[in-house]
């Protein structure tokens, strides 16, 4: 028997096979869970439906992937429609993965101080407020002992040059996790986050992940980077009944990078000055 036999849930925001959300979904599917998926809506002029196609190539071969629908989290109507679809398909759900973040590239790449007002609104609404909105609509179909999991990053705790306005959004997302955990706790709904180290994902490329990989490899206590599989297993554990006593937490899956207070072994690469 798998940990998710008889369990049903939503995974919102898979972009492609490199998405952390897909790594988590794979673990759940392999252990018997049934999942409804959302994808970023395609533009009306995109006849190839690229966003849907990238995700359907993953889900079509999975018997327990029950549906795939578009969702724009800036629309309450679309969020409600996805929750209604889940209610029709499953009745109630046991888990929900929120993997949604976006900032306009011109605002993400520039100094945080120079972020435009509109860029700030879009980034914050998409990357942080969307967790509150999804949780609000989903709470009516989430069972007792259910779990919500979102994806954050260390750039919301400390300054990571290049992460810029997204770091501000992740700091807000981290606070949303804690306040939602308080709000939903009496209903038996847990709310947590995974803070993963750098991985080659669509979002990671936009945030300069290639520059971070070498840094993490030299600085982390484990002297290596993490894998998609490691984050997937950690995420599935956080959504399972094995973590029932945990809520409002940010679990770092980063080979220990977040504990470091100095460059660590990276100093070994710095030429020593003669005394």
What pLDDT does residue 264 have? 83
* 8 A C-beta contact, residue 95 and residue 138: no
How does pLDDT run across 93-139, given as a tens digit for each residue? Answer: 999 999 999 999 999 999 999 999 999 999 999 999 999 999 999 99
Say which of 102, 129, 137, 153 is annotated catalytic. 153
Q: Is the dihedral of CA 81, 232, 20, 189 positive or negative?
A: positive
Catalytic site includes residue 129: no
Query: What is the CB neighbour count within 10 angstroms for residue 260?
Result: 15
Are the C-beta atoms of residues 107 and 116 closer than 8 Å to each other? yes
Q: What is the mean pLDDT of residues 38-56?
A: 90
Check whether 272 has a pLDDT greater than 90.
no
What is d(CA 202, CA 20) in angstroms, rounded to the nearest whole number? 10
User: Of 102, 163, 216, 257, which residue is the catalytic one?
Assistant: 163
Q: What is the pLDDT of residue 214?
A: 83
d(CA 143, CA 35): 15
Q: How confident is the model at residue 215 (pLDDT cuts 50, 70, 90)?
A: confident
Domain positions in the chain: 8-258
User: Is 137 marked active-site?
Assistant: no
Q: Which of 40-49, 146-155, 195-204 is modeled with the greatest confidence?
A: 146-155
pLDDT-derived band at 7 (thresholds 50, 70, 90) equals very high
8-258 CATH fold: Rossmann fold (3.40.50)
Instruction: Report the pLDDT value the prediction gives residue 275, as an integer from 0 to 100.
Output: 56
pTM reported for the whole predicted model = 0.94
Residue 209: pLDDT band (50, 70, 90) is low
């Amino acid at each position: 028997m798998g940990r998710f036999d008889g369990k049903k849930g939503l995974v919102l925001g898979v972009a492609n096979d490199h998405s952390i959300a897909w790594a988590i979904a794979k673990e759940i599917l392999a252990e018997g869970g049934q999942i409804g998926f959302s994808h970023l809506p395609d533009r009306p002029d995109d006849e190839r439906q690229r966003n849907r196609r990238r995700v359907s190539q993953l889900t079509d071969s999975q018997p327990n992937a029950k549906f795939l629908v578009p969702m724009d989290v800036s629309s309450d109507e679309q969020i409600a429609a996805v929750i209604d679809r889940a209610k029709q398909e499953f009745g109630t759900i046991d888990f929900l993965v929120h993997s949604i973040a976006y900032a306009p590239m011109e605002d993400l790449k520039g100094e945080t101080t120079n972020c435009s007002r509109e860029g700030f609104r879009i980034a914050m609404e998409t990357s942080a407020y969307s967790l509150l909105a999804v949780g609000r609509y989903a709470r009516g179909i989430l069972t007792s002992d259910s779990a919500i999991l979102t994806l954050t990053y260390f750039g919301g705790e400390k300054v990571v040059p290049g992460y810029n306005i997204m770091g501000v959004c992740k700091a807000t997302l981290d606070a949303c996790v804690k306040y939602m955990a308080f709000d939903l706790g009496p209903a038996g709904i847990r709310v947590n986050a995974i803070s993963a180290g750098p991985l080659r994902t669509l979002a990671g490329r936009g945030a300069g992940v290639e520059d971070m990989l070498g840094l993490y490899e030299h600085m982390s206590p484990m002297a290596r980077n993490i894998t998609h599989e490691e984050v997937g297993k950690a995420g599935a554990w956080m959504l399972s009944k094995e973590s029932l006593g945990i809520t409002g937490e940010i679990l770092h899956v980063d080979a220990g990078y977040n504990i470091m207070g100095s460059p660590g072994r990276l100093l070994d690469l710095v030429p020593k000055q003669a005394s």
